[in-house]
């Protein structure tokens, strides 16, 4: 199934991003702190700037906009805006369609999958660095978490790379 995208304003991976008034200084600061990078790096990275624009957006099952987004739509929006790729709309379909990789081989932009309260893959996020990933959490919306957190260790299913 293809992904219908909202109007996000994330930019290309290699392009330098000028300071964007849509990304508040507090969001830039939060993303920088979570990733251990400078605020300048957040503003100049297409991926990090996109995360800053969406950071804190509330979770909404089936949602695909700034008023509420689920994990697969957020992942798909990020992939479209940052990497120019259209990916599957559901986390379970993404798992089926990506190339599975070992966790130790994760690179920025790879996908991380979880089975949360289900026998099937039910959650997806985008790997960043240092075991951190961005995802749309049901409790806190779009946020950065660590694969080292016990909850994610317990529910982790595997990693994949979109073709």
Q: Which residues are catalytic?
A: 71, 123, 135
Q: What angle do CA 143, 132, 93 make, to 5 degrees?
A: 75
Determine the Cα–Cα distance for residues 161 and 53; give it in Å rounded to an integer.
Answer: 24
Q: Which tokens hold the place of 27?
A: 């969001």
Q: Which tokens hold the place of 149?
A: 């957190």
Determine the Cα–Cα distance for residues 109 and 7; give it in Å rounded to an integer.
Answer: 21
Residues 6+ positions from 109 with CB-CB distance below 8 Å:
47, 82, 83, 126, 127, 162
Q: What is the full DSSP assignment across 107-139? A: -TT-EEEE-SSSSS--EEEEEEETTEEEEEETT
């Amino acid at each position: 199934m293809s992904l219908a995208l909202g109007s996000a304003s994330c930019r290309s991976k290699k392009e330098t991003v000028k300071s964007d008034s849509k990304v508040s200084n507090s969001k830039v600061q939060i993303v920088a702190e979570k990733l251990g990078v400078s605020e300048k790096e957040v503003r100049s990275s297409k991926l990090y700037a996109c995360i800053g624009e969406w950071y804190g957006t509330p979770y909404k099952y089936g949602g695909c906009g700034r008023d509420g987004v689920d994990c697969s739509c957020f992942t798909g929006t990020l992939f479209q805006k940052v990497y120019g790729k259209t990916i599957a709309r559901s986390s379970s379909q993404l798992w089926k369609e990506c190339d599975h990789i070992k966790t130790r081989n994760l690179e920025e932009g790879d996908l991380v999958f979880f089975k949360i309260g289900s026998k099937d893959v039910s959650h997806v996020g985008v790997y960043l660095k240092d075991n951190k990933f961005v995802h749309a959490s049901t409790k806190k919306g779009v946020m950065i978490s660590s694969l080292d957190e016990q909850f994610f260790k317990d529910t982790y299913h595997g990693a994949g790379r979109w073709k």
